[in-house]
């Protein structure tokens, strides 16, 4: 586990994604201004703790609590009948849905400060009572399972089992702008083998296609943070062809990368494994590979695996190219360098972080990459799709809901938050939370 002090920084950038013949859910950012050094100083520690813990412990996958501080995009859901509203992080790195419970302790400050689910107020509640716990670096989030109707973008999902959290450790949840987590990973990583929300929607025939996609708005002056699409893709949110690649291991959304190059330097020679992770801000890779990229762009190392870049060099920095399925996915210097402020001055950070995970040459493609490329998660065909995201999302006529045209001529429903959220702007990405155990994922449990 990496220990990093005040010097440790993490970057985060905007992203982009979307869907067709389906339902569109707006995402909102918890930040409405530019990021500061203070905003990002804990993120490197978070990433290091998370990924080292995932691959180091065969029985438990603890999660650094500070990781929640990096969760910046959230969207609305409702549980129960009538619906009880919650703000949740849509997380491709976990597979469980949980929200605070009305039955939490009076001493649980995080619970008291957030929306809580009250089963007594729901006519569709079904008791389960099975205990659940998600392990974290400094304790466990504990509670019990319940079943009720979930409403997501106007779609009612009956019989959805979820966690009622009665104990949330640490102060991180106290500070969180969201109430809970809605995991969108494979069932293999679901705590208690609970059926994930998306799987449940597909099984009940509530979606036209077993597909979801993310679009993150890179325009920081825009009020919208991005969109999550369920059941299809909307081709107004990307340009050019979609490149599909198979999922190589069902757990996280993992696939094969052929090579990574910068200038004349080739990294990941002979191919390597990568994870498309909406919950990681940076691109994370083996330290030796990231160090080559840093050297090629004249970046100086900081403690913890991050690098400082001269701000005036951004226009002349070489492209970084990630190649798979015969296609080059290019990031320019402006796209892989992030500016933060400290005492009124700009600081430029390389959007790559070095992290050695023993036994795994793994690259984690976070929002630095996904911010440029609209990303499709195709559960039915066990594949990922990537297309270049539009820089500016199409305008909508109605603040609350609209009907948009898709490539097949059918409609896409959209729900939005009320105007009181209109000042929220895209700055940071979604954060993945890893399950307590993955019994069916020996490749993830291996040291």
Tell me which residues are annotated as active site. Answer: 91, 277
Please tell me whether residue 291 adopts helix, strand or coil conformation.
helix
Residue 364 tokens, joined:
């984690």
CB 309 within 8 A of CB 298: yes
| Residue 394 and residue 404 in contact, taking contact as beta carbons nearer than 8 Å | yes
Residues 6+ positions from 420 with CB-CB distance below 8 Å: none
Structure-derived torsion over alpha carbons of residues 287, 290, 294, 299, reported in degrees to the nearest 10: -60
Report helix, strand or coil for 251: coil
Interacting residues of 109 by C-beta distance below 8 A, sequence separation 6+: 171, 174
**Contact yes or no for 318/387 (Cβ under 8 A):** no
- With 0-12 CB in 10 A as exposed, 13-18 as middle and 19+ as buried, what is 422? middle
Q: What is the spatial distance between Cα 185 and Cα 188, in angstroms, rounded to a whole number?
A: 8
The Cα 349–Cα 152 span in angstroms is 37
Name the CA radius of gyration of the chain, rounded: 20
Q: Which residues pair with 261 in a beta bridge?
A: 266, 321
H-helix segments, 29-105? 37-40, 43-56
Assigned token pair, 69: 């501080």
Is the separation of the CB atoms in 9 and 41 below 8 Å? yes
Instruction: For residue 47, give the 3-state DSSP assignment.
Output: helix
DSSP symbol at 342: E
**Helix, strand, coil % over all residues of the chain, rounded to 5:** 20, 40, 45
- Under 8 Å CB-to-CB from 17, ≥6 apart: which residues? 213, 214, 215, 216, 226, 227, 228, 229, 237, 278, 370, 374, 375, 376, 389
Question: What residues have CB less than 8 Å from 311, skipping those under 6 apart?
Answer: 339, 346, 347, 348
Cα-based distances in Å from 126 to 122, 146, 206, 359 = 9, 6, 21, 44
Look at the chain and count its residues: 447
State whether residue 173 is helix, strand or coil: helix
Instruction: Please state, in angstroms and rounded to a whole number, the distance separating the CA atoms of residues 140 and 65.
Output: 10
């Amino acid at each position: 586990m990496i220990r990093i002090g005040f010097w440790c920084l993490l970057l985060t950038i905007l992203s982009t994604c979307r869907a067709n013949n389906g339902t569109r859910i707006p995402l909102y950012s918890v930040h409405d201004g530019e990021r500061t050094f203070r905003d990002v100083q804990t993120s490197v520690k978070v990433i290091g703790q998370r990924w080292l813990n995932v691959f180091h412990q065969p029985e438990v996958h603890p999660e650094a609590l500070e990781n929640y501080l990096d969760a910046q995009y959230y969207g609305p859901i409702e549980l129960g009948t009538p619906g009880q509203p919650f703000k949740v992080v849509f997380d491709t790195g976990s597979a469980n849905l949980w929200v605070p419970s009305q039955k939490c302790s009076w001493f649980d400050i995080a619970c008291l400060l957030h929306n809580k689910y009250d089963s007594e107020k729901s006519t569709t509640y079904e008791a389960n009572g099975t205990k659940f716990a998600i392990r974290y670096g400094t304790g466990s989030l504990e509670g019990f399972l319940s079943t009720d109707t979930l409403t997501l973008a106007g779609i009612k999902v009956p019989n959805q089992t979820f966690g009622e959290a009665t104990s949330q450790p640490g102060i991180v949840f106290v500070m969180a702008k969201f109430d809970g987590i809605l995991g969108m990973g494979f069932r293999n990583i679901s705590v208690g083998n609970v059926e994930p929300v998306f799987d449940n929607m597909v099984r009940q025939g509530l979606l036209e296609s077993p597909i979801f996609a993310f679009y993150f708005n890179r325009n920081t002056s825009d009020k919208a943070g991005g969109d999550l699409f369920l059941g299809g893709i909307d081709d107004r949110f990307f340009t050019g062809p979609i490149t599909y690649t198979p999922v190589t291991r069902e757990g996280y959304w993992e696939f094969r990368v052929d090579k990574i190059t910068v200038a004349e330097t080739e990294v990941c020679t002979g191919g390597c494994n990568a994870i498309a992770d909406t919950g990681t801000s940076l691109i994370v890779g083996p330290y030796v590979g990231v160090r080559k990229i840093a050297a090629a762009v004249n970046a100086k190392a900081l403690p913890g695996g991050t690098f400082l870049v001269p701000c005036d060099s951004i226009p002349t920095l070489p492209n970084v190219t990630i190649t798979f399925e015969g296609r080059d996915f290019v990031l320019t210097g402006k796209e892989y360098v992030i500016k933060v402020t400290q005492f009124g001055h700009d600081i430029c950070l390389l959007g790559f972080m070095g992290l050695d995970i023993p036994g795994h040459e793994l690259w984690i493609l976070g929002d630095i990459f996904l911010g440029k490329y609209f990303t499709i998660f195709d559960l039915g065909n066990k594949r990922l799709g990537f297309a270049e995201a539009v820089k500016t999302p199409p305008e909508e006529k109605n603040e609350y809901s609209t009907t948009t045209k898709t490539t097949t001529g059918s409609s896409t429903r959209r729900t939005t938050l009320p105007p009181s959220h209109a000042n929220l702007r895209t700055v940071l990405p979604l954060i993945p939370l890893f399950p307590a155990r993955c019994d069916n994922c020996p490749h993830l449990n291996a040291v």
